[in-house]
Structure formats: C-alpha cells, structure tokens
Amino acid sequence: MDFRLSPETEAWRAELGTFLDAEIPDGFEGDDDFFDNEEQVDFARQFTRKLGERRWFAPAWPERYGGMGKTQIEQMVLNEELAYHRAPAGGRLFTIGITGPTMLVHASDEQKDRFLPKMASGEDWYCQGFSEPGSGSDLASMQTRAVRDGDDYVINGQKIWTSNAHIADKMILLARTDQEAPKHKGISAFIVDMDAPGVTVQGVPNIAYRHDFNQVFFEDVRVPASNLFGGENNGWYVATTTLDFERSNIAAVSGARRTIHDLIGWAREKHPGGRPWDKPSVRHKLADLAIEAETGRLVAYRTAWLQAKGAVPNYEASMGKVWMAMLGIKVANTGIGILGAYGQLTPGSAGAQLYGRLTTAYLLAMSGPIAGGTSDIQKNIIAQRGLGLPRG
C-alpha cells in the first residue's frame, strides 16, 4: 500500500486539528474513557455532541445513519487526531469503534435506523459486556443466560472488566441462549439499556486508583426481542466481528506518540540538575521510542487500508495489538526513568510533571498485554491466520 494520504485527507486532518486545538483545554484528564467526576463527563458529552453535529463522530458511516460516507482511512485519521489531542473518549471505542461497525455488518435495517443515528450524534454511549469472572480468555465459556419469555429475553448473570459501564447508556451484550449447544454455538448478541431494572454497575478500582473498570450484574433484566441482532445463537460470529474492529489500535499508537512528543519537549527544558536532553542516552532512548511508535502507526494504517478495501484484517490487527501493548510498557518505563524523582508524583501532586500522566501510565502499562485479548491469544491468531501454522 501507499502510506501517503491524499491531499483531501490531509486537509481533513488539518481541519480536525484546528477544531481540537480550540476545543480541548490543556491538561484535560478525561481521555481514554476515564472520567473521575461529573464535570469531566458533562464536558465529554458536550464535546461528542459537537462532533456529532458536524457528522465527525462516525465519518465513515453512511449519511443515512449520521456519518459522511467517508472511507475507513478518514475514520482512522479522526481517531488518530482525537487520541493525539487527548480528546475525551466518550465511549468512542465501544460506540463508534466496536458496536456501530458490528451492527452495520449484522443488524437488520430497522435496528440500524433505530440505534446508529444516536451513536453517530454522540447521544448514546456504549460499553461492551463480554468478559465474565470465570471465563478468562475462553470467552465462549460464558455463563450469563438469556431466556426467551414472550416478546422479551430475561437475562441473568454477570460481566466484569466492563470499561465505561458507569457512564454508558447502552451495552452490547453476549449471553447464552441455548444451554445444550456446544459453547461456541448457543450465544446471542443483544443491545441492553444500562438503566433497565435489574442492571447493577459496581466499580472495580485499579492500581492507579482510577475508575476504568466495572462489574455489571443482571438480575431478571428484560430485554426486548427486537434488541437481539445477528440472529439467535449466532452471537459468536457477531463477537468475532466485534473483536476484529476492536483491535485496529490507531488510538493507542497516537496516544503513545503524543506522550513521546511530550517527553521530548520536557527533556529539552531546563530542570534542577540540568537538561535531560543533553545526555546522549536520553536522546537515544527517545529516538528508539519514536521509531517503534512510527512502526506501530504504519501497522495501524495498513489495518485501516485493508478495512477500507472491505477485508477483515484480523491477524494484522493482532500484530498491532501485541506491538502496542509492549510499546506502552516501554514508553511508561522510559518516561519514568527520564523524569527521575518527578516520576514518583501522582496526578494532582505539587510538582508533578506532564500532569502526572507518566506515573499513571507506568502503573497501568502491565495490563496492556492482557486487556482486550491477551498477547498470547494474539500471537496464536498471527501464527494460525497470518503464517498458516497448525494449532498447537
């Protein structure tokens, strides 16, 4: 592929950059689907609706559903710029990056008309109810049940590691609809209202004291049968589509590039003890990070290019996932080392540098090879689908 973007796409990037420079305040801390207070959530809601008014939240979607009919390349550029400017995510990954594209593939026309415009406008935010406490990487062993009762399904069970559930309006949920079928066969996909009676969200604090994750309980939750999509007992195929969309990784690449650029700027400034930039070892470490980030960026560009051609880049996306998980660890470790004693200061502490972001990144980085599909699982995908190797 030609990694150079067209003049029209570069003009689109410039227009986005101008808008984001004007809209995102310095030091905004509500990015990456992390919102610690109502003020951050309110700002994020307003921001996503501004994007929606311009049809910029989902530009690659058909105009009928609130998009602009652009290609996946323009969607990728949008995601890249939003992440680089640390714009509030507002459920972007799970709404526009995962649920919407999956519904475009598997939902009925009626469901698309009902759900997609409110996603594209920024009105409805989604979360993803896949993982369960007893399932681990074996997603198909899920135990949450959905039993048909008239015009509804009644759902009972539990999900965990549900990012964004505490602020989401709806969830894309997988539940078992046939208890007797083989584990990959008896699963169905639903859209569930998060304010439905019987839905309880409980936060799961992490090592950085951030409210990123949640566990969600379902107790006799009634979901209209019209909210099942992709066909009953066909949810595994819906899920595999969803996971392919989830792993394009451009936002992670762009976030890492921004952190590296921030570190370069900080290292060039004078601090007690001198300028870190004057040490060749610091420059070499930052150069290595910049090269690895650019490598990840090109993998993400190829993934988007394949999507724009109508292909499903599953092993290419897995390559990007593995690469970015390790790069996240390297950026955090290198950044903390360059900051020195400053690297021990948490966000909000007096003297914290770069808003304390590196400290948080350092605490969270080791989860990268696990979250969203472990690196071992991704390597199996690369080996089997990319290299044609047999199952071990």
Q: Select from 236, 213, 249, 216 the least CA-distant residue to 139.
A: 236
Half-sphere exposure of 298 (CA within 13 A, CB side): 9
The two structure tokens encoding residue 386: 């990319």
d(CA 329, CA 366): 6
d(CA 254, CA 260): 10
Letter string b/e over residues 291-300, b meaning 16 or more CB atoms within 10 A of that residue's CB: ebbeebbebb
- Cβ count near 248 (within 10 Å): 28
d(CA 246, CA 97): 6
d(CA 318, CA 330): 19
Measured CA to CA in angstroms, residue 204 lies from 39, 95, 223, 333, 357 at distances of: 21, 21, 25, 25, 20
The two structure tokens encoding residue 107: 């939902």
3-state secondary structure of 200: strand
d(CA 367, CA 210): 13
Tally the residues of the chain. 392
Residue in the structure block whose two tokens are 């969309």: 245
Q: What are phi and psi of 126, to 5 degrees?
A: -115, 155
The two structure tokens encoding residue 305: 């290019």
* Active centre residues (catalytic): 246
